[in-house]
């Protein structure tokens, strides 16, 4: 009985010591905010539109298409898009998409990627 009490006391002391370990003075580095991805676009390899940009003027709203048909997105203004090819690929593979889309009024360049603009637009774009 005395051995069980001694072992219990040692186990309790070990657990308390683990809980009282000193905390690190350095805070963990904040995670990078991921760039939102355009959803609903069916893409295969090199057929993917170019979303890259340096300034907002590099971007334009284009119908990139998805398995439902019309799907606007902010892409590089010089990027070719082929919504009919997307629909054909969807039919060939039996893929479907959620129908509906965001009403995009303007695009912005966020972290070198074309994105729908949110908030007021800057005049020196």
Is there a domain that residue 11 lies in? no
What integer pLDDT is reported at residue 1 of this predicted model?
55
What integer pLDDT is reported at residue 123 of this predicted model?
57
Give the chain's mean pLDDT.
Answer: 74
Burial class for 77, CB neighbours closer than 10 Å (0-12, 13-18, 19+): middle
Is there a domain that residue 27 lies in? no
Instruction: Please state the pTM of the whole predicted model.
Output: 0.59
What integer pLDDT is reported at residue 85 of this predicted model?
93
Average pLDDT over residues 42-65: 84
Return the higher-pLDDT residue of 101 and 61.
61
Q: Which domain holds residue 84?
A: 39-115
DSSP code per residue over 68-122: TB--EEEEETT----HHHHHHHHHHHT------------EEEETTEEEE--SSPP
Number of structural domains the chain divides into: 1
CA–CA distance, 10 with 2 (Å, rounded to integer): 12
Is there a domain that residue 108 lies in? yes
Residue closest to 114 by CA, chosen among 67, 66, 76, 85? 76
Asked if pLDDT for residue 33 goes beyond 50, the answer is no
What integer pLDDT is reported at residue 111 of this predicted model?
96
Asked if pLDDT for residue 89 goes beyond 90, the answer is yes
What integer pLDDT is reported at residue 63 of this predicted model?
96
Is there a domain that residue 67 lies in? yes
């Amino acid at each position: 009985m005395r051995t069980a009490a001694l072992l219990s006391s040692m186990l309790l002391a070990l657990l308390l010591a683990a809980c009282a370990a000193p905390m690190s003075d350095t805070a963990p580095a904040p995670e990078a905010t991921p760039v939102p991805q355009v959803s609903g676009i069916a893409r295969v390899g090199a057929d993917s539109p170019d979303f890259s940009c340096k300034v907002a003027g590099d971007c334009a709203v284009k119908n990139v298409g998805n398995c439902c048909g019309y799907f606007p997105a902010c892409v590089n203004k010089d990027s070719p898009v082929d919504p009919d090819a997307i629909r054909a690929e969807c039919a060939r593979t039996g893929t479907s998409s959620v129908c509906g889309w965001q009403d995009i009024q303007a695009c912005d360049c966020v972290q070198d990627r074309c994105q729908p603009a949110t908030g007021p637009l800057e005049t020196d774009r």
